[in-house]
Every structure is written in C-alpha cells, then in structure tokens.
Structure 1
Amino acid sequence: MRTLLEEEYAPITRQIGFIRADVDRVADEFVVWMQGLGKYAGRSAHGLPSLRDALELLPPLTTELRRSLFVQRENGWTACFNNLYSGSDVLSTCWTVARRLRTDCVQITSVPNIRRGGRLRYGSVQFSLRRFERDDPSSSLEHDRSRDRVVYASNDGGRWVFDAVGEVQPFEQTAQYTARPIRKRFTSQMLADYCEALGISPFDEHSYLGRSIIVETTIARPDREKARTLAQAREWLNIEAGDAARYDG
C-alpha cells in the first residue's frame, strides 16, 4: 500500500491536507483565523533539508491542537499536518483556509487494514477535493457543495464501504468503482493518480520542499491536555513499521 514515508511518522501522516497557495499565505491566513477564535498563534519559519526534519517539529502529540505544520510543495501547493495524536485531522484547516483564500484544497487518507494481536487497524483510502470560487465572495463552508468531490473505500467497523459523492472529475478511474472486493474500488495507487492529476505527488517525500512553517496555538485548558511521544502514540494506535508494505490496498 502506498503511504507517505511508509508510515514512519504515522499517525502524523495518517491524513494530509493540501492547499493551492504559497506556504506563507497559508500560514498567515491560519494565524488570522486562530486569532479570530481568541487563540494566541505564533509562527516560526524553518529551512529544513527534508520532510522528516519538518515532521520532527510536531511531537509531542496532544489531544488538542497545539502545533500545525505547513510545508511548501512543488507546483504551488502547501501541505498541512498537525500534532493531534489520534491522527492529523486537517479537514477543517484545509477547508477554512482555502475558503478564506478562495482557492482549492485536497485532503487524503491512506491507512492499511491490519490485524495484530487481536486488534484491528481499520483501513481507509480517501480523497476529498474542494474548490472555492475565487470570484464568489459568498463562498463558505455552508455554500453550494455540488462541486466538491469525495471518493473513499473504508473499513467501517468491520464492513467495507465505498462511496463517491459530488462532481465526477475527468481524471477518475470510474470503471473501478464496481470492483470486488469493495476495498479494491478505491486503492492507494488510485489516490496517488488522482492527486498527480492535480499536480500533487502525495507519497514522494522529495516533492515536499525545504521551507516549512510551524504555527503554535494556545488551548483553553492545558491542565487537561494529554501528551504522547510519537512512539507512544504509535503503540496506542497499534502502528508498526512495515504495516503498509504488508497490505495490498
């Protein structure tokens, strides 16, 4: 199965968001959004040699959002990660910042379906595309979503489900959507192909360029926060090195 860095940094890389804008514009708009919510948000820029070095800035992983990472990519996209230990939930960040910038955003998930020691990691491959009209000032999260596109195949509590909602894109491999078993209807390779059609190479670490920005935010009740190291989060979520390589999905 195709994943970023072969899940070396999962759960941080469980979900990845992409916004079609320069990394500084994305980070600045995220800071303005956070400050509008009454949170302190401070940013720091880093010129790091690799994506691994950038991801090392996120731990410890916490129950509430404390650190968000924005990484410049090729072709004018910015990648989004954060330090939530259950796995980066970047959807709200992507959609809100993209709406404010009137640009496109993509959110992906690629998780292997693995059973180990009586515990199951529920597999999932998801693609979500949102296009906010640059000339439509009324565009919002509640605005017309008919141009959104969501495609996924996921293990939902032991049962595989597939769905494709919204406007079909010209690059989609729709003939695969009736395949058996259901998990084959949308694979990680198809996910990579869909992203490539938009100018994104999601699983190529070298397409993540060196400029990275970390934004740190305050939370309401830091005394209630739970924190884990990356290793502790991986153990808690039953993630082991090589899981993705052992799974055909």
Structure 2
Amino acid sequence: MPVTGPPLLGRTQSPVGWVVGFVRAPAADVLEADLGWRRGLGQRLEVSPPTPFPACLSLLEPLEAPWTTELLVDCGPWTAYLNNHKDGGDPTAAAGELARQLGTRCVIAVHSPPHGPGHASTQMWVHGPDGEPPLMAERTLAASRQDGRWSWYESGRPLPFEDVARYGARRIRDRFDRALLVAHLHALGIEVDDPTWFGPGVAVRQVVPWPTRPESVEEALERLEVGSR
C-alpha cells in the first residue's frame, strides 16, 4: 500500500481509515487493555510484531464484515485505533470502551468522501471522563449525506478552538468539511495528515470460527462506488 500523501480520512488508503479512533494513552497501555479485555471474553488472538507506519495499514487486509482485525498505532501521547471493517472501519465502540477502561479521552474522526448513491460524511465525536453519561460524550459534530440528502447534527459544549459561526453556513457540506476536521484534530494534538506523527502499529486479529465476507481494498472501492456523486 504505497503512500504519496496523507493516508487516512478519505485519502490515499481509502476506504481504510475513513473512520479512525484516537485514544489519549500510550500504545502499550492501550494494547494491554485491549488484549486483557478480549482474552477475558474468551477470544483467540494473534498479535503481529510492530510494523512501521504506513506499511502497518496493510495488516488490515483483507477487509471484512464482520471485522476481525484491529490496528493500534503508536502516536506518542495518543494511540490511533483502526479496524478492518470493509466500509471504512468501525472503531467507535471498541475505541470508546478502551478509553473508558483507561479513564481517558477518545476522539472519533470520520471522513468518507462521496460514494454510492449520494453518500458522504464528515464527523468528530469527543468522549471523555468529563462527558455526559452514559456515552461520556463531550462534543459531537456531524455533516452527513444519505441518498443525496444532507443533515447536520451537533451536541455538547463547543471546544475552545471552535469557530461556531462556521456552522451557520447555508450549505451543510460547508459547515464541517475535511479541512476543518483536520484543523480541529490539530487543536487537540492529533496530526492526522502528518505521516511522521505515526509510529509503528500492532495488529490484533481475532481467530474466529465463523465465515466473514473478505474484500480487497480494490474490491471495496468498486463496491462503494467511491467518487460517485
């Protein structure tokens, strides 16, 4: 999976990384929590050696549903969490649970470019110990298009760096786009468009007795009709 630019959130590795979780804890702590949690559930696991970024993204192939493989990437004070769900990843529940166990903040970043019959989405969810139970949500922003129809959702108190006037734009697609998502992540200390910010990644694969529906990245792109309007 060669990389010539930012790999995640709808860039060179699409659809891998359309949805990425960031847990504010060292990767070793997140990995320990993940392994303990999953082994406690009786899951049989295979753990890869650390692999440099972005080569570690290939450990998520093939893409599957249900997903079986998680990738934890060392980002210093943060850990990036991805998995191999074939529709761009599905880290929301697992990354949130790991953050809850560690008593820390979790940020879910979403950017899926135009695909299928009129779909697209840019979202940011911030959860943490100071958030509102039961999900401990602090702030949610979401500009989404389903079947050609745009919708806007926001909740929680604006974060200090937000320019809330932006959310009054007439066109929903202009209220929260990828550039603003990346700027918000930067303000939180997450340098998602800088490949050098990411350290090595470790894959945790569940060995499951049931069949999955595997796809290559190329097959997923064709099925999702990426680039359609």
- TM-score normalised per structure 1: 0.82
Other-structure match for 1:215: 204
What are the Cα deviations for residues 126-166 of structure 1, in whole angstroms up to 9, with x where unaligned?
Answer: 00001125xxxxx9x95373x52100111033211111111
- Unaligned runs of 5+ residues in structure 1 are 134-138
Other-structure match for 1:234: 221
Amino acid at match of 2:165: A
Give me the whole-angstrom Cα distance separating, in 2, the residues matched to 1:23 and 1:170: 27
Give me the whole-angstrom Cα distance separating, in 2, the residues matched to 1:54 and 1:144: 30
Percent identity at matched positions? 29
Other-structure match for 1:128: 125
Amino acid at match of 1:108: A
Give me the whole-angstrom Cα distance separating, in 1, the residues matched to 2:135 and 2:48: 35
Pairing 1:14–2:18 present: yes
Pairing 1:156–2:146 present: yes
Amino acid at match of 1:166: G
Amino acid at match of 1:143: P
Pairing 1:143–2:140 present: no
Pick closer, same or farther for the CA change 1:95–1:188 going to 2, 3 Å.
same
Amino acid at match of 2:191: S
Other-structure match for 1:95: 96
Pairing 1:175–2:168 present: no
More relative contact order, 1 or 2 (CA 8 Å, 6+ apart): 1
Other-structure match for 1:85: 86
Give me the whole-angstrom Cα distance separating, in 2, the residues matched to 1:10 and 1:79: 16
What are the Cα deviations for residues 9-30 of structure 1, in whole angstroms up to 9, with x where unaligned?
Answer: 2221110110011111111111
What are the Cα deviations for residues 214-246 of structure 1, in whole angstroms up to 9, with x where unaligned?
Answer: 11113352xx32111111111111136xx8xxx
- TM-score normalised per structure 2: 0.89
Cα distance, 1:44 vs. partner?
2.5
Amino acid at match of 2:201: S
Cα distance, 1:6 vs. partner?
5.7
- Corresponding residue SS for 1:123: strand
